[in-house]
Structure 1
Amino acid sequence: MIARLTLTARLTLLYMGASLLVLSGLGFMVTRANDAHFVDLDRTFLEDKAALIRQLVTGSASMAQMQQKLDELQQSHNGLHLRLEQQQTLLFGETDNPFPSDLTSTVGTATGPLTTRDWRRDGNVMRGTVFAMEAPSYLDSPEGLRLLLATDTHHHTHFMDELRHSLMVYLLVAALASGLLAWWAARRGLAPLRDMRERARRVNAHQLDERMPEDSVPVEMAELAHDLNTMLARLQSDFQRLSDFSSDLAHELRTPISNLLTQTQVTLAQPRDAAGYRDTLASNAEEFQRLGRMVSDMLLLAKTEHGLALPHRESVNLQEQAQALFDFYDVVADERGIALVLEGLAKVHGDKLMLRRAISNLLSNAIRHAPEQSRVVVRLSQVRGEATLCVDNAGPAIAAEHLPRLFDRFYRVDKSRVHLASDGTGLGLAITQAIMAAHGGSVTVDSSAESTRFCLRFPAT
């Protein structure tokens, strides 16, 4: 049942329980201290009366005088009971003996520690003891005397009952007061949590900029607020990227689909010969191939986001892979008078086909954007096991605000240009980044007025 209670209710109950425990302990100590104090008072009272009785017995001239003085003493002290015996002979005392028969086992002396004992008589608690006395000269026998003294503790018992009752009432009132105070303190202390809850309720797909307060909350909640804000920032960033990606994907798919539909409608508008239909189908096939590559690239990126596992790991010579790609792009580079240069050596451990695709994406971009009669240089290096592959090409600088987003899907520096002459899908750099992430590496870009450089950095194996 307690698992369903609110945090405020739990703190209130815990505080009330702690308060009850502390106050109960304090009440127990107070009652024990009062009991001990009353025992000391009664012991002192009995010792004083024993000393007075000893003087009265010693100072009397006869048995009758002694009995008279003891009777006056007993009458003047309400609740005092005494009994004076010599062996089995009663010298003074009540006929109805109020003392228990085994009280003789608690005999005290005038010089030793006094021991008292409690017992009940007629519903009242009696506290008494036994004193040893010397026999006076006017008695026939020299045997010692036994003085049994007791006092009625009714007034003490009544006071302790009232005290316990008052403590119980105070305990209940204090528990209720502490519960109210604990509820108020818990409500105020947990107010930042309620504020965070209200802010979290306002977060939705259209309002992701809501943030938790960090400076106005207690230290214990500041870390939670910071972590929640970090999570919200990631969600906002990912949602924005997803929205941009959806918009870009729709735009990228609309163009080839529109081309296919337009060309097909034009072809069907009037009868044509077999050659015309073949040309239309060939053009449509090219658009279908572009759509197929785009879908394949999207599937690869989706796998990467869910933790792409490398299908095959092996030692890869980056120089050999770069040289093989030079042979593939040599014809395209020669048409524009671009020289392909390879420098350095490096080996890494990874999937050969995926690494070749990453290098191919950078190399094709460099050739596409390099000016005619220029160079595209691939530089390899390996220091302490960490390999680096950089692709440099001359050309205009890329503005600094575009560099962080070059690896986003379908991102274009110039939104207005359309790659009619290119068969790219706009996902090359995003795929390159995904491949490097799968290998535990990274891809970076630097751009200046002289050249643009993309670098693949591999961790040491």
Structure 2
Amino acid sequence: MKGRWRKSITLRLTLLFASISSVVFLLLGILIGNSVERHFEVQDTEILTGKLELARNELSKVRSEEELVNTLRQLDNALVGHQGLAVIILMPGSQIGYATEGADFPKRILEPAPSTETLRPVRWVTGANTPYRGLATSIRTAIDGGKQIYAVAAIDISYHEHFMDLFRRTMWSFVTLAAALTGFLGWVAVRSGMAPLHSLRRQAENITAHRLNARLEVEAIPAELQALADTLNAMLTRLEDSFRRLSDFSSDLAHELRTPISNLLTQSQVTLSKPRTAEEYQEILASNIEEYERLSRMVTDMLFLAKADDGQIIPTKETLELKRLVEDLVEFYRLIAEDKDIALSYDGDAIIRGDSLMVRRAVSNLLSNAIRHAPAGGHVTIRIASTDSSFASLSVENSGPTIPPEHLPRLFDRFYRADPSRHRLSDGAGLGLAITRSIARAHGGSVSVRSENGITVFELRFPTEERWSVES
């Protein structure tokens, strides 16, 4: 449960919204609080500066001790009128020359600094727990060539402190409430924003192996999820095609294996039904060997295709002359072609880089397939050409019935036959063209087919030696 919440996008975004809003409101509150407090400090400083300037104007004119005593008495009347104001004037030697009633100043502000007249704002709390803000300054009189006295003025800031305490409590309450509200609104917004994802999830839950034709609805989802939905739909299309091919392959494989196994089983049962001569047993075993050879070829071909699908077929890079390779194959199939009264010819040349055994097998599959389907009196022609500096083509053309267009895309599927009625008339297992395509792809090439007007052409394309040199 903890791990699920930790990975929840909704929870993360909600906490992110709440955290960001809390930080923003907190910084804003601190900024406003500092500004207000600075305003109060400036306001208090202006009042205190005015009082000290008043005292400075009066005391700086004093020329004798008697005049100083009189001025200090008059100063009390001048400073009256501001509530919470406290003033103390220290004579040389730290003697108190004047102090308002109830004045309570800390020791640190009562220590004169004769060398400077700079105002020094100080904040303190009295023994009665009353906050004050004060300023101190030195005043030069005209007594004895410039005798200095020390003046300190302070003001009660209880009202300001109370206001700031109330402001801070209000600010923290507002930040807490704003964080909670923003978190809730963020959760609502995220839930609303995540609704299309939940919709996609519900649609995906309904897609099973039996309903791979279903697709995700992309019309009602946001543009940000459009690419994801399109990708998933493309994946479903590939899966549907793969499942269909796998299902067809399984059915075809079972059908292909059932016939020879059934023949072997039936023939063995019939053989054992009564005693037979040694010659009869030899004939039966020879017939069984033919079926076993067919099964062995089928298994070998299937293993080759399985390796090709897993990318385990890695061809060697030999320099191959296609003309010489085709000459050997034509010589091998010439007797078969002559028996069927088929004209066999070739022309052209090209040099490629590839695995000689694999390329020979691919061309042999196309050539045997062409001879098998060409009618008596027909022809099979092999043409070799360099289409450009990168690829060479080898096409195998045969006369015969035109293959319907709907069959052409599936001719390279395993066990697929355009004419099922000829299934038992052929020694092949329906894997030759599939193997040819795998070999072409393993070499970085391709294979294609076209059929029209009684002519069928299979074309192989292989990279030339120049292309291999550039890529290496």
Q: Quick check: TM above 0.5?
A: yes
1:411 counterpart (405, 416, 431) = 416
Matched, 1:128 2:134: yes
- Residue 190 of structure 1 aligns to a residue whose secondary structure is helix
For residue 186 of structure 1, report the CA deviation from its aligned partner: 1.9
Residue identity opposite 1:179 in structure 2 = G
Q: How many residues were matched structurally?
A: 456
Deviation at 1:152, TM superposition (A): 0.9
Once the two structures are superposed, the pairs formed by residues 369-384 of structure 1 within 5 Å of their partners are: 369-382=373-386, 383-384=388-389
Residue 80 (1) aligns with residue 94 (2):
no
Deviates more, 1:266-275 or 1:181-190: 266-275
SS at match of 1:149: strand
- Aligned CA distance change for structure 1 residues 140 and 263 (closer, same or farther; 3 Å): closer
Match of 1:27 in 2: 29
Residue 15 of structure 1 aligns with an amino acid whose one-letter code is: F
Matched with 2:99 is 93
Write the distance in 1 (CA, Å) between the matches of 2:170 and 2:374.
96
Q: How does 1:132-211 map to 2 (within 5 A)?
A: 143=147, 146-211=150-215
- Identity, % of aligned positions: 43
Deviates more, 1:63-72 or 1:320-329: 63-72
Question: Hey, what does 1:349 align to over in structure 2?
Answer: 353
Look up the match of 1:455: 459
Work out which of the residue numbers 9, 12, 18 in structure 2 matches 1:10. 12
Superimposed CA distance per residue, residues 100-139 of structure 1 (whole angstroms, 9 cap, x where no aligned partner): 3443557899xx9754222221222211123555769xx9
Summarize the alignment of residues 266-415 of structure 1 with structure 2, pairs less than 5 Å apart: 266-310=270-314, 312-382=316-386, 383-415=388-420
Residue 76 and residue 326 in structure 1: after superposition, are their counterparts in 2 closer, same or farther (change >3 A)? same
Q: Which runs of 5+ in 2 are unaligned?
A: none
Give the deviation of 1:369 after TM superposition. Answer: 1.4
**SS of residue in 1 equivalent to 2:423:** coil
Q: Is the 8 A contact 1:402 1:413 kept in 2?
A: yes
Separation in 1, partners of 2:118, 2:220 = 67
Maintained 8 Å contact 1:108/1:115: no
Partner of residue 45, structure 2: 43
Determine if contact 1:208/1:236 at 8 Å carries over to the other structure: yes
| Partner Cα distance (1:454, 1:37) in 2 | 92
Q: Which letter does structure 2 place at the counterpart of 1:151?
A: I
What is the CA-CA distance between 1:260 and the residue it aligns to?
Answer: 2.5
Q: Which position in structure 2 is the counterpart of 1:117?
A: 122
Shift of 1:313: 3.9
Cα shift readout 1:291-343 (whole Å, capped 9, x = no counterpart) = 11111111111111111333644222221221212122112211222111110
Q: Residue by residue, what CA displacement relative to the aligned partner does 1:20-65 show, whole Å, maximum 9, x if unpaired?
A: 2212211111111011100111012123334555688899999898
Partner SS state of residue 419, structure 1:
helix
Q: How is 1:206-217 mapped onto 2 (pairs within 5 angstroms)?
A: 206-217=210-221
RMSD over aligned Cα atoms: 3.2
Offset, 1:73: 5.9
Report the residue type matching 1:349 in the other structure. R
Greater mean alpha carbon deviation, residues 249-258 or residues 222-231 = 222-231
Change (3 A) 1:447 1:20: same
Amino acid at match of 2:106: P
Amino acid at match of 1:286: E
The runs of 5 or more residues in structure 1 that have no matched partner are none
- In structure 2, distance between residues paired with 1:108 and 1:74: 26
In structure 2, distance between residues paired with 1:318 and 1:134: 116
Distance 1:87 1:426 in 2: 121
Q: Which moved more, 1:380-389 or 1:245-254?
A: 380-389
Once residues 85 and 270 of structure 1 are traced to their aligned partners in structure 2, the CA distance between those partners, rounded to angstroms, is 143
In the superposition, relative to structure 1, how do residues 80 and 282 fare at CA in structure 2: closer, same or farther (>3 Å)?
Answer: same
Q: Give the C-alpha shift of residue 191 in structure 1.
A: 2.4
Separation (CA, whole Å) in 2 of partners of 1:135 and 1:285: 135
Distance, in Å, in 1 between the alignment partners of 2:427 and 2:68 is 139
Query: CA offsets per residue over residues 65-99 of structure 1, 9 Å max, x none?
Result: 86776555666432110124443554432476523
Give 2:346's aligned amino acid.
Answer: L
